[in-house]
Amino acid sequence: MGYPRGFVHGAVIGTVIGLCIAPQTGDRTRAQLRQGVKAAREGAEVTARALKRVAPVASYAVERVRHHSDSESSVAHGNGTGTVGVSPSV
């Protein structure tokens, strides 16, 4: 039968069964969906505002980690004093 054809058949059958056993009217379901979309949109807006406020701090933290990582990398490659990253001879 093939995957696409089976997928379409399954979607149609699932929709028909869902409509037959729906616990409420379509108007009520659409109203709930509108409320859910509105809540999701508001949540996305709140998240976007929070990300804008956090972005400068996160950017600074990333730069500090990179700088720290680069300085440790220099030590590991023998450019500093210490034996970090040096494996014993076998």
Sign of the CA dihedral 50, 52, 57, 60?
A: positive
Q: Which domain holds residue 59?
A: 38-74
Residue 79 falls within a domain, yes or no?
Answer: no
Total count of domains within the chain: 1
CB atoms within 10 A of CB 86: 11
Q: What is the pLDDT along the chain (90 residues), one digit of tens a residue?
A: 688 899 999 999 998 898 888 888 889 988 998 999 999 999 999 999 999 999 988 888 889 888 887 776 655 555 555 445 555 554
User: What is the reported pLDDT for 75?
Assistant: 55
Residue 8 falls within a domain, yes or no?
Answer: no
Residue 49 falls within a domain, yes or no?
Answer: yes
